[in-house]
Structure 1
């Protein structure tokens, strides 16, 4: 009964549309969870002394009734799930009709649930064997408890040590191999303003796949001049790869040396970027900054891992924080030595795991606004300390999804850039958190297993299904599935932060001279035209 109830609950909508096979995995896990809870409650009632005796006729009638209910309940749940998924697709602008395949959810769910139940039976059998051996030396109840604890600990050690670490080791080897390749169209830059060029102290081959893409990409001075209508400069992009130096501090020092070599400290804006796991830098955010300032910019970043972000977040949460702190501290130390009237605007940026690592360079909001001219964080993971503190300290009556802190004097949160326009005045040092209401990276948390978050108890955003509700354990697994395809949605939804919205955020943060709302709209049109051409 509990497995059936949890199966139906798993069909309810979450933040993003789920492919039928992921829905099947979620339904199987949730059904197994419900079965385990029901089994636990049944054993608890027996342990308390309630042991109802049913006649064979009553058992037969009960089983028939349960079969009839199941025969109706499951198809209705599948149909409602397909309807809700279609509703979520419409809300986030994804038009992929998968109702035809939704019947396959039941098959996938059955396989997953049966597999998890088999694992549970194996663990129980092992626990009983250990208990039987221990019963020769200690009382039976102590032996059963000891057996359960021993098997549980061994299972965790096997999963965490052998399976997870083994999988991550394989992923790391594959990622390191892939890091030696290149994206299509990537060529070594010749401009001295780029790391890896003939004038650079950083070897081209040491930059890694994402580093080479970063320094070889971006708009040219001619393209920027055509957009702004004014003379433009070639943007500076410097980067350090994992193999560019022997240690993280040495890589950061090499990046600072590249900044000095290229004259980055004489530009109007200097941005310190904390990358994602593979060393990726979001081209949309960097190109937006370069367009806003007509190329009078310098952007610095480094690689700290071969692992993709999801694997780095599971295996090594210290490296992104160490990289974010090391690079910013070294850049800041050099920047601070210059006369105040000859310093560029110093800003920081990070997306996803980069936002998690980049914020580790600061003790809090005051430190961030003291040592920088501004910050842009997009898609910040829920476990980021500074983000957590600011969200918890929000002004009374403001929602968790769009918190207001101190009337928005220094920091502002936005689902869309228009949310940055508050009635209260905004100070000169500005911090912006872009966080879509439908971004599972921002809202996923282990606490979803047992506690309803504030954002699901408040008024929903227009693009979040009104039928979404918090359900114990269920919501956790739903958002876990949402993470898989969180970027496969249009810009402005999920974990997809488009160049136009980041350009508008940069304009709010830095207020560049001569930049107007009309320029933001022209840039939006430029991005849309370019993306349309790429699709064709």
Structure 2
């Protein structure tokens, strides 16, 4: 055994995880990028998230500094010991001063970011001062993990070097290590974490929110007359059905007798395949008489199956209950996990709309309900993918569309933004003078540009400070257009683009997009009511009605 251990040590050589202490360049790069990460971002963040982003940025700076140092050594640029000692002393002094002062400066930068999104400007100095310390810990963990990978690569190369030529050993060893690492991440970490997320989401899917009970009306899914059982709707489906606006509330709002609204929802556990769930949704619409209502809305849910109540209820109020809403669940994972692992949103949006549209088209043209579509966040992506022909396809097959908080990878949104009229900013684009499409953050934005018939066909709700809309891989190397003047009102004037760092800052903002007041970040509040009023309100509806409805919805909580 001792001989075997000795052979292994001889074969592997002197490599170890900490082969040498960090170089001057790597430490300088880490300090610089860590301090850069404390500059303002799109949304205010808690100190812990600041620290995580700071640690990731510091690790990137460490890698860049190490590469620069290696290149200089290869070029035989080697300062003398005295110069290096002086440089180290200067770096440590500067780093100490920066790590003491930057949290204070960062707090001053944070206040305008909090102010423009309607948050208080008070900051806890004690916790804010911990940002550099926690960032160093995160950076050290990342660097050690990278060194373990590097060590593993060298071990594989040295072992291969005994049986194949050295160039082949380097190439084969590097490729083999990458493949093994990818397999470990995919097969171990990713699958384990995904399994944990799925089990947690599955458990959450079985719960029922307080105050939500099985409906008595046969016009709602999950009732005793329904084709779908209440237990199979999932947590978000039960919320969607259980929060249906009652005729009593509709009558109180309008002053006229109201009908029982129709809501149809098919949960992930109701049927095994997406096609079966879409067919079942249409069967439910037929059973409830939805195709005889004045308005029918196909609502693509987010990854967990959530549909924003403040986007659903306005249509019921506007049409005094003479409405039908339909949605289905395609996952119970949060949207970002669902997109990374399954990407079923596109298939779900297309399957549901195609099935509903096929049955709707069978109705006599004079007796068809208005056919509307809605999607928020990942749901907007699913909605857009239901129309492969783009905007023309969307307008030809619907009577109106509302899309809120669209991710930057939405294809129709990308086309409209890139083809916007000259002079209009990317955060409030004007497309062909607003005749068909409007982009809005506030109600006045919807009326800023008149269209020939007075109504837009498509409305995009997008806040200037919504990281879901603006986060994109291009942020790594390219300054975004939404930072050009003039900026959106809720984007901090202190915010500027930094290579590599801004990408990770906005990635962190994704986690806090729903933690700001309505009208900022990824919170759209009651704005869907104003958007629906612009798109498809009945002739008797007035601006005063919209204001009353928005005031009512502002007191209604609706969180994913």
In the superposition, the TM-score normalised over structure 2's length comes to 0.91
SS in 2 for 1:513: coil
**Among residues 462, 472, 484, which one is paired with 1:445 in the alignment?**
472
Residue 142 of structure 1: how far off its partner (Å): 5.0
Q: What corresponds to 1:460 in structure 2? A: 487
The Cα offsets for residues 382-404 of structure 1, whole Å up to 9 and x where unpaired, read as 11222122222222222211111
Q: Is the 8 A contact 2:318 2:537 kept in 1?
A: no
**Among residues 67, 88, 111, which one is paired with 1:86 in the alignment?**
111
Aligned-residue CA RMSD (Å): 1.9
Q: What corresponds to 2:462 in structure 1? A: 435
In structure 2, C-alpha distance between the alignment counterparts of 1:123 and 1:244, rounded to whole Å: 45
Q: Is the 8 A contact 2:295 2:372 kept in 1?
A: yes
SS in 2 for 1:470: coil
2:403 paired with 1:380: no
Q: Is the 8 A contact 1:20 1:98 kept in 2?
A: no
2:519 paired with 1:496: no
2:242 paired with 1:216: yes
Residue 231 of structure 1: how far off its partner (Å): 1.7
Residue 529 of structure 1: how far off its partner (Å): 4.8
**Among residues 118, 124, 135, which one is paired with 2:161 in the alignment?**
135
Map residues 82-481 of structure 1 onto 2, 5 A cutoff. Answer: 82-95=107-120, 97-140=123-166, 143-317=169-343, 319-363=344-388, 364-426=390-452, 430-481=457-508
In structure 2, C-alpha distance between the alignment counterparts of 1:198 and 1:423, rounded to whole Å: 48
Q: Is the 8 A contact 1:403 1:413 kept in 2?
A: yes
Distance change (3 Å), C-alpha of 1:531 and 1:183: closer
Q: Is the 8 A contact 1:503 1:520 kept in 2?
A: yes
Distance change (3 Å), C-alpha of 1:142 and 1:454: farther
SS in 1 for 2:299: strand
SS in 1 for 2:325: strand
Distance change (3 Å), C-alpha of 1:531 and 1:119: closer
Residue 250 of structure 1: how far off its partner (Å): 1.1
SS in 2 for 1:271: strand
2:69 paired with 1:42: yes
Residue 278 of structure 1: how far off its partner (Å): 1.6
In the superposition, the TM-score normalised over structure 1's length comes to 0.95
Q: What corresponds to 2:533 in structure 1? A: 507
Q: Is the 8 A contact 1:19 1:98 kept in 2?
A: no
Distance change (3 Å), C-alpha of 1:448 and 1:426: farther
Q: Would you say how many aligned residue pairs link Structure 1 and Structure 2?
A: 529
Residue 97 of structure 1: how far off its partner (Å): 2.8
SS in 2 for 1:5: helix
Q: Is the 8 A contact 1:395 1:403 kept in 2?
A: yes
In structure 1, C-alpha distance between the alignment counterparts of 2:518 and 2:548, rounded to whole Å: 17
In structure 2, C-alpha distance between the alignment counterparts of 1:429 and 1:64, rounded to whole Å: 64
Residue 143 of structure 1: how far off its partner (Å): 3.4
Q: Is the 8 A contact 1:410 1:426 kept in 2?
A: no
Distance change (3 Å), C-alpha of 1:392 and 1:137: farther
SS in 2 for 1:361: coil
In structure 2, C-alpha distance between the alignment counterparts of 1:452 and 1:156, rounded to whole Å: 31
Residue 148 of structure 1: how far off its partner (Å): 3.2
Q: Is the 8 A contact 1:373 1:429 kept in 2?
A: no
Distance change (3 Å), C-alpha of 1:292 and 1:477: same
In structure 1, C-alpha distance between the alignment counterparts of 2:110 and 2:207, rounded to whole Å: 38
Residue 139 of structure 1: how far off its partner (Å): 4.9
**Unaligned 5+ residue runs, structure 1?**
none
Q: Is the 8 A contact 1:28 1:108 kept in 2?
A: yes
Q: Is the 8 A contact 1:94 1:489 kept in 2?
A: yes
In structure 1, C-alpha distance between the alignment counterparts of 2:179 and 2:479, rounded to whole Å: 29
**Unaligned 5+ residue runs, structure 2?**
1-27
In structure 1, C-alpha distance between the alignment counterparts of 2:165 and 2:71, rounded to whole Å: 20
Distance change (3 Å), C-alpha of 1:122 and 1:530: closer
In structure 2, C-alpha distance between the alignment counterparts of 1:450 and 1:530, rounded to whole Å: 41
Residue 327 of structure 1: how far off its partner (Å): 0.5
In structure 2, C-alpha distance between the alignment counterparts of 1:330 and 1:530, rounded to whole Å: 32
In structure 2, C-alpha distance between the alignment counterparts of 1:280 and 1:338, rounded to whole Å: 30
